[in-house]
Structure 1
Amino acid sequence: MTFTRRSLHLIAFAALSSTVVPALAQTAKPWPEKPIRFVTPYPPGGSSDVITRFIGDGVSKILGQPVIVENKPGAAATMGTEYASRQAPDGYTFLVAPTAALALAPYLMKNVKYSHESFDPVAKIASSYGLVTARKDAPFSDYKGMLAYAKANPGKLPFATNGVGSIVHMTAVLLHKHAGVQLTHIPYKGAGESVIDLLAGRIDLMYDPATAPRVKAGDLKGLGTSSGIRNPELPDLPTLKEQGFGDGGSFSWFAMFAPKGTPAPIVSKMADAVRQVLEAPEVKAKLQLSALYPNYEDPATFAKSVKTDAETLRNVIQQEGIKLE
């Protein structure tokens, strides 16, 4: 049999293809092909853990692999966040955490060995409703009235938050700064004590969505929701934005991240799974229990949000000299 030069080239190409194509097919493995870990930097039982678990359950059903929630609490959520940043970017470890862990802690605390740039943003999951509340007999009835009172009485109007450097504290500082008013910050260790003091009239103002049931019952006065939408618990209470002020709630979110360098197709596929979970009707009710609402953003959009929020929060921390002891 006689072979032309062209025939020999075709035979050689076919032989090469028979070895290369299977090799390429082996490297392009389907994802996921084993269980996925969701790291939360908080202990079991809290709202962050609960949200991480029900998002994990939904993602597991969509992707067809188990999702294992790994709790890594400690050091104001920085231990678990740093741990997640050091994991292999292979698409089998994701961090589920709020603003405080990614866009606040690196600027408030010493020796934090990561930043938001240590991760690839996957998806924004939810945002906080936020709520500005006053004692029932406060000498103002809305947010505009509160600002007018604060301007007339600089430094004399105390407001409570759940702690120095908390996202609620940062939101209040930013809103006050934009309005040009000076209030006195009274930090508490949690919402429980501050609600009691607000009810007793020992403080005048509070920034925390935990007061919603008391506002609904008529025990406290709601001044506005510091988020982009109204709280379903208080449908008649306008947002601060509707009243002509800033959207303070945009800084308070709950989101998913991947270790830096995770393949983009995997990030995209996980983001789409999260989007599908958030579309389920029952998810809104579950998030409402933690004063959150579904607010999905895809990887590209959320990457811009994280960068903007981190820069804004870093600037206000530096300008106001806010530090954690």
Structure 2
Amino acid sequence: MRIVVAYSAGGAADSQARLAAQHLSEMWAIPTVVENKPGGNTLIATQAVQRSAPDGHTMLSVSLPFALNPMMFEKLPYDPFHDFVPVGLISSIPNILVVHPSFPARSVGEFVAYARANPGKVTVAHTGIGSITHLSGELLYDKTGIEVTTIAYPGSTPAHADILSGRVSAMFDSSMLQHIEAGRVRALGVTSSKRLDLLPDLPTIAEQGFPDYSAAAFYGLVAPRETPPAVIEKIAADLRSVLQLPEVRSRMRDMTFLAGDTTPASFGVFMQDEAARWGDLVKRREIRPG
């Protein structure tokens, strides 16, 4: 069994896939491996799974770009809601706006004020056009009218290297908790509507004068369209069981993930809703792959 991830190893997408794979492997008593295929705005990984045999042995780890790509590309070599079937939601997770310690802002308001006074000079890393690390920023820029320079990376790990070194100013990301705690980056605000349990003193962006701001990533699994329904239901049921394990839920809390609990049908509806919600921003901001 393999789970194909559209991002490089080490980031949030990779981490949650590996956590699920580890416990599914133990449950099934067969190797379940994670295969990283970054690049192409997730198209490389998606097409690899599309071409795979629909036998339940290959799944794709998906996030927001999977649902949004039809709105950003004039033509796609696949239809995400026709050529794939949903399996289930693994997790959802808010991002945190972080900056290099040398950046002159200690709140989201100060970040916005600095960017407004220095249009285009603030550099913000993200993991691809249409990713939640990208759209979390676009939502803030849309609400405030600020102009920044965004830089796309093939995954969180190379982006982290550049923000830790100070090559870029900021990033909206979910997997820098250890760097926040060590003081290697400064956290300014949480993108979700509620504060994080692990960072209770860090206010949300909405709390800091930007009402109605809310953004969170999601990660789940889909399979090629012709995968037998009975196989999909079996994998989905086993995934739900894994996500209820105390050790899995504890590990997810440590990574600020919220464990999923969906059926294939409800995960499909969820992705359609996310596409509609973020699609409005994509159209308004005229966001297209670079």
Match in the other structure for 1:299? 264
**C-alpha separation in 2, matches of 1:230 and 1:320:** 27
Asked if the contact 1:103–1:306 (Cα under 8 Å) also holds between the matched residues in 2, the reply is yes
- Give 1:75 shift: 4.2
Match in the other structure for 1:18? none
- Give 1:280 shift: 1.6
1:247 aligns with 2:211: no
**Where in structure 2 are there 5+ consecutive unaligned residues?**
154-158
Asked if the contact 2:64–2:274 (Cα under 8 Å) also holds between the matched residues in 1, the reply is no
1:194 aligns with 2:159: no
Classify 1:295/1:238 alpha carbon distance in 2 versus 1 (closer, same or farther; 3 Å).
farther
**C-alpha separation in 1, matches of 2:174 and 2:7:** 21
Match in the other structure for 1:280? 245
**Where in structure 1 are there 5+ consecutive unaligned residues?**
1-36
1:133 aligns with 2:98: yes
**C-alpha separation in 2, matches of 1:44 and 1:214:** 19
Identity percentage of aligned residues: 21
Partner deviation per Cα, 1:107-134 (whole Å, 9 max, x = no partner)? 5557641232121211110123310124
What is the one-letter code of the residue matched to 1:213? Answer: Q
**C-alpha separation in 2, matches of 1:176 and 1:160:** 11
Partner deviation per Cα, 1:231-250 (whole Å, 9 max, x = no partner)? 4442321333555442211x
Describe the SS at the equivalent of 1:305. helix
1:1-325 mapped onto 2 (5 Å cutoff): 37-42=1-6, 46-47=10-11, 48=13, 51-62=16-27, 64=28, 66-69=30-33, 71=35, 73=37, 75-76=39-40, 77-90=42-55, 92-99=56-63, 102-108=66-72, 112-117=76-81, 118-134=83-99, 136=101, 141-144=106-109, 146-147=111-112, 149=113, 153=117, 155=119, 158-163=122-127, 165=129, 166-177=131-142, 179-187=143-151, 189=153, 190-197=159-166, 203=169, 205-218=170-183, 220-227=185-192, 229-241=194-206, 244-249=211-216, 252-287=217-252, 292-325=257-290
- Give 1:313 shift: 4.0
Asked if the contact 1:126–1:294 (Cα under 8 Å) also holds between the matched residues in 2, the reply is yes
- Give 1:228 shift: 5.2
- Give 1:95 shift: 1.8
- Give 1:82 shift: 1.8
Classify 1:57/1:206 alpha carbon distance in 2 versus 1 (closer, same or farther; 3 Å).
closer
TM-score normalised by length of structure 1: 0.69
What is the RMSD computed on CA atoms of the aligned residues? 3.6
Asked if the contact 1:38–1:69 (Cα under 8 Å) also holds between the matched residues in 2, the reply is yes
After superposing on structure 2, the runs of 4+ consecutive aligned residues of structure 1 that deviate more than 6 Å are none
- Give 1:271 shift: 1.8
- Give 1:40 shift: 0.7
What is the one-letter code of the residue matched to 2:273? Answer: T
Asked if the contact 1:41–1:73 (Cα under 8 Å) also holds between the matched residues in 2, the reply is yes
- Give 1:207 shift: 1.8
- Give 1:305 shift: 1.8
Classify 1:159/1:99 alpha carbon distance in 2 versus 1 (closer, same or farther; 3 Å).
same
Equivalenced residue count is 279
Classify 1:81/1:139 alpha carbon distance in 2 versus 1 (closer, same or farther; 3 Å).
closer
Asked if the contact 1:125–1:294 (Cα under 8 Å) also holds between the matched residues in 2, the reply is yes
Asked if the contact 1:81–1:101 (Cα under 8 Å) also holds between the matched residues in 2, the reply is no
Classify 1:301/1:55 alpha carbon distance in 2 versus 1 (closer, same or farther; 3 Å).
same
- Tell which structure's C-alpha radius of gyration is larger: 1
What is the one-letter code of the residue matched to 1:246? Answer: Y
**C-alpha separation in 2, matches of 1:93 and 1:289:** 29
**C-alpha separation in 1, matches of 2:57 and 2:115:** 49
Asked if the contact 1:122–1:256 (Cα under 8 Å) also holds between the matched residues in 2, the reply is yes
**C-alpha separation in 2, matches of 1:231 and 1:295:** 17
TM-score normalised by length of structure 2: 0.76
Asked if the contact 1:108–1:324 (Cα under 8 Å) also holds between the matched residues in 2, the reply is yes
